[in-house]
Amino acid sequence: MANETDRRATAAEKRKQALELRRAGWGYQEIADEVGWANKGTAYTQVQKAIKEITRESAKELLELELERLDDLFSGLYEAARNGDNFSVDRALKIMDQRARLLGLYDQKPEDPTAEVRGALLDFAAGLKGLFGRNDTYGQVTDDTSGIADVPGHSEPGP
């Protein structure tokens, strides 16, 4: 476990060094040679990975900062909104809306409560199809009235 942790730390340090070298104008082959990678393709891949890590971390930090700001604004309005101040209610709702947008809550689709039942019925129907042959007409309703005399209840009494 310690070896894996050391390996990851070393890889992260190499990516950091490669990114700094790239910022300084070094070419990818030069970076690969300096850091100890096999070729410029590896250097390019690792530099891109370092950039994505920075971007992801920066975006996460910015989101946290914005959510904290919204929380601060909301806390100042909450009591007045609870006491019925219409302006505070309006502002509080706008803050809640912005928070939901930042968290992507509007993008999530609600769960379909019928999905499980629908899936079970589809499985059942598929199972039934396997029981009957292609030319088997048992239980099928047709518009053909040629065999209606054979059906009890239409023209003659049943048993």
Q: What is the reported pLDDT for 77?
A: 92
Q: Would residue 128 count as lying in a domain?
A: no
Q: Would residue 114 count as lying in a domain?
A: no
The single-letter code of the amino acid at 50 is: A
Question: Which structure tokens are listed for 56?
Answer: 């992801």
Q: Would residue 12 count as lying in a domain?
A: yes
Over range 110-119, report the average pLDDT: 79
Give kind and range of the element (H or E) at residue 103: helix 86-103
Q: How far is CA 158 from CA 114, 129, 140, 147, 153, in A?
A: 42, 32, 22, 16, 6
Asked if 27 contacts 40 with a C-beta cutoff of 8 angstroms, the reply is: yes
Q: What is the reported pLDDT for 92?
A: 94
Lowest mean pLDDT among 20-24, 93-97, 150-154: 150-154
Query: Domain count of the chain?
Result: 1
> What is the pTM assigned to this prediction?
0.41
pLDDT-derived band at 126 (thresholds 50, 70, 90) equals confident
Domain boundaries, position 38 = 7-103
pLDDT, tens only, 47-87: 999 888 887 778 888 889 899 999 999 998 999 999 999 99
Q: Would residue 135 count as lying in a domain?
A: no
Q: Would residue 66 count as lying in a domain?
A: yes
Q: Would residue 11 count as lying in a domain?
A: yes
Question: Which structure tokens are listed for 118?
Answer: 């629908």
**Phi-psi group of 84: left, alpha or beta (phi > 0 → left; psi -120 to 50 → alpha; rest → beta):** left
If you ran DSSP here, which 8-state letter would residue 156 be given?
S
Q: Would residue 124 count as lying in a domain?
A: no
Residue 142 has pLDDT above 70, yes or no: no
Q: Would residue 136 count as lying in a domain?
A: no
Q: What is the reported pLDDT for 59?
A: 81
Higher-scoring residue by pLDDT: 80, 135 = 80
Q: What is the reported pLDDT for 67?
A: 92
pLDDT-derived band at 122 (thresholds 50, 70, 90) equals confident
